Amino acid sequence: MERQVKLQAKNVRKTYGPVVALEGTSIDLLEGEFLTLLGPSGSGKTTLLMAIAGLNDPDSGEIWIDGELMTYTPPHQRGLGMVFQNYALFPHLTIYENIAFPLRMRKMRKAAIDEQVARVLNTVQLPDVQERFASELSGGQQQRIALARCFVYEPSIILMDEPLGALDKKLRDSLQREIKHLHDNLGITVIYVTHDQEEAMVMSDRVCLMNEGRIEQIGSPAELYFRPKSIFAADFLGESNLFAGKVIGQTEAGTSIQRVDDIVVSGVCDTEVRNGETVHYMIRPENIRVYVDEGSEENLARGKLKETIMIGQLTKYFLELADGSELVATTLTGGGKDPLQPGDPIYFGWSTNDARIMLGS
């Protein structure tokens, strides 16, 4: 069954004096979808979220929610829920009273409130904290209560603005999974803002990558990671080997480019390019194999081992090429002593299908 469009932002633009915080930006959010707005500080992601929430009015454009024009509708009339980084719990109220607050505002009967509060506390796996105060809970527990207070009145869309940004990595990783499970189990519609690429990749159905007030690329995490459409997307998401070259040939199998040091490599190109045109080439470190002797890959780079870094389960190999530039490969760490030493001659090899060719400066 095809999902309905839950929210539409159409050509939304926002400026602060001479600063353009958001260019004419358009997105569609489907019912039950988890969409993440990802990007560095100043990319426009929070500005777009605040416009959707009704907490700042756009200069132009339209916001549609459930088929109704809501561009300048007050926030409390939009049927949205919000979860912030600082939890925003009332310190003088018990956990029960915090969660019950939005239901009381909607004049729900006490028996129904009791039932709903108990239900969401079970959902966030904190059934026994009703009589406690926020100060008596850990940061992770407080964030779960903030989520429960948002879920309890079943908003049309839940907006989350960096809700895990203040937590340590281990707790953040745990809550990422919990939020994703809640989304999957409850079928809620979520717009999530973060600058953390790993968080976006783990949790999202689609990622909207933003840069300098505009959408750089939107698609599934796999699409953005393996098929970036711009140098910014390739560089921002994960680690990548990026270099420039000139197109020297095109076949059905791939497009070949020549680096300034005359190394010829091939990759997949989704845009139309001409022979002689300068393009950029990307290969992810995890898609590169390391060889002591010349391998049989479609693309090979030869040089000397510059450095090896072991990061727990992963080991990084840095290959220094003849012109002094370097490539990095990532492999699973083996149990024995690594036979490769700095200065050893080695080869890096990779498949044409794993490499992407992009335009751009």
CATH number at residue 351: 2.40.50.140
Q: HEC states along 42-103? A: CCCHHHHHHHHHCCCCCCEEEEEECCEECCCCCHHHCCEEEEECCCCCCCCCEHHHHHHHHH
Which pLDDT score is estimated for 361? 58
Task: Count how many Cα atoms sit within 13 Å of the Cα of residue 2 in the half-sphere of its side chain.
Answer: 2
Are both 243 and 206 inside the same structural domain? no
Instruction: Say whether both 186 and 262 belong to one domain.
Output: no
Domain shared by 252 and 339, yes or no: yes
Question: What is the distance between the alpha carbons of residues 43 and 217, in angstroms, rounded to a whole number?
Answer: 13
Of 233, 267, 290, the residue at which a domain comes to its end is: 233
Among candidate residues 233, 257, 285, the one where a domain is terminated: 233
pTM for the model stands at 0.86
Residues 226 and 250 in one domain: no
Residue 227 shares a structural domain with residue 243: no
Q: How many domains does the chain have?
A: 2
User: Phi and psi for 334 in degrees, rounded to 5?
Assistant: -85, 165
Q: What is the mean pLDDT of each run of 10 residues along the chain (361 residues)?
A: 88 95 95 95 94 94 95 91 81 92 88 91 87 89 86 86 81 82 85 92 94 95 92 92 94 90 91 91 95 82 93 93 93 80 92 91 58
User: Domain boundary at 177, 203, 233, which?
Assistant: 233
Are 220 and 252 found together in one domain?
A: no
Kindly state whether residues 80 and 161 are assigned to the same domain. Answer: yes
- In terms of domains, do 180 and 270 share one? no
Is there a single domain that holds both residue 245 and residue 134?
no
168 and 263 in a single domain? The answer is: no
CATH number at residue 160: 3.40.50.300
Residues 173 and 265 reside in one and the same domain: no
> Beta strand pairing status for 241-251 and 264-269?
unpaired
pLDDT value, residue 1: 63
**pLDDT score, position 338:** 74
Closest CA to 107 of 153, 151, 146, 138: 153
Q: Are 99 and 113 in contact (CB under 8 A)?
A: no
Provide the b/e sequence for 287-314 (b: ≥16 CB within 10 Å).
bbebeeeeeebbbbbebebbeeeeeeee
- Tell me which residue range forms the domain holding 183: 5-233
Could you tell me the sign of the dihedral formed by the alpha carbons of 92, 93, 98, 100, in that order?
negative
User: At 239, is the secondary structure helix, strand, or coil?
Assistant: coil
Q: Let me know whether 200 and 255 are in one domain.
A: no
Q: Decide: 335 and 251 in contact? Cβ < 8 Å.
A: no
Angle of helix 110-123 relative to helix 139-151, nearest 10 degrees? Answer: 130
